């Protein structure tokens, strides 16, 4: 059963997204199926062209785009949140798929983790 890890906070300003991503990668490393859902300000994780050298952090963009290589099944982006953050699909990292955030979407996952 796939675990859905929800990230709903912008990157860099808090550590929660990083620790959520670590959870998803851990699941994948132990062969437990996991998917990521970015919603709310969390969709900013997916924006291309991040350069956090000036704030002494590592870019999360690469971690996200590598997620599927490490076994994460899907990188989902809430369509309404993309619109609210003025993000178009071609501005997103490779592999992200726009979906409707709804009870039907969430019902596909027996385990939902939202730090």
The site for other proteins (CB under 8 A) is made up of 3, 6, 8, 15-16, 19, 22-23, 26-27, 30, 32, 39-41, 101-103, 105-107, 110-115
Minimal distance, residue 94 CB to other proteins, in Å: 25
Nearer to other proteins, 94 or 106 (CB): 106
Contact assessment for residue 46 and residue 76, using Cβ atoms and an 8 Å cutoff = no
Minimal distance, residue 30 CB to other proteins, in Å: 5
Nearer to other proteins, 49 or 103 (CB): 103
Q: Between the CA of residue 83 and those of 36, 41, 60, 65, 98, what are the distances in Å? A: 19, 11, 21, 20, 11
Contact assessment for residue 41 and residue 50, using Cβ atoms and an 8 Å cutoff = no
Minimal distance, residue 26 CB to other proteins, in Å: 4
Cα–Cα distance measured from residue 29 to residue 14, given in angstroms and rounded to the nearest whole number: 24
Nearer to other proteins, 48 or 104 (CB): 104
Strands 96-99, 111-113: pairing kind: unpaired
Minimal distance, residue 20 CB to other proteins, in Å: 9
DSSP class of residue 47? B
Nearer to other proteins, 53 or 107 (CB): 107
């Amino acid at each position: 059963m796939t675990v859905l890890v929800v990230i709903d906070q912008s990157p860099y300003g808090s550590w929660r997204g990083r620790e959520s991503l670590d959870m998803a990668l851990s699941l994948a490393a132990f062969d437990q199926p996991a998917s990521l859902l970015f919603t709310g300000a969390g969709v900013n994780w997916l924006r291309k062209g991040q350069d956090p050298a000036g704030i002494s952090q590592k870019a999360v963009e690469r971690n996200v785009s590598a997620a599927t290589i490490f076994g994460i099944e899907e990188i989902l982006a809430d369509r309404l949140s993309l619109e609210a953050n003025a993000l178009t699909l071609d501005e997103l990292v490779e592999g992200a798929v726009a979906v409707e955030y709804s009870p039907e979407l969430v019902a596909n996952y027996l385990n939902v983790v939202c730090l």
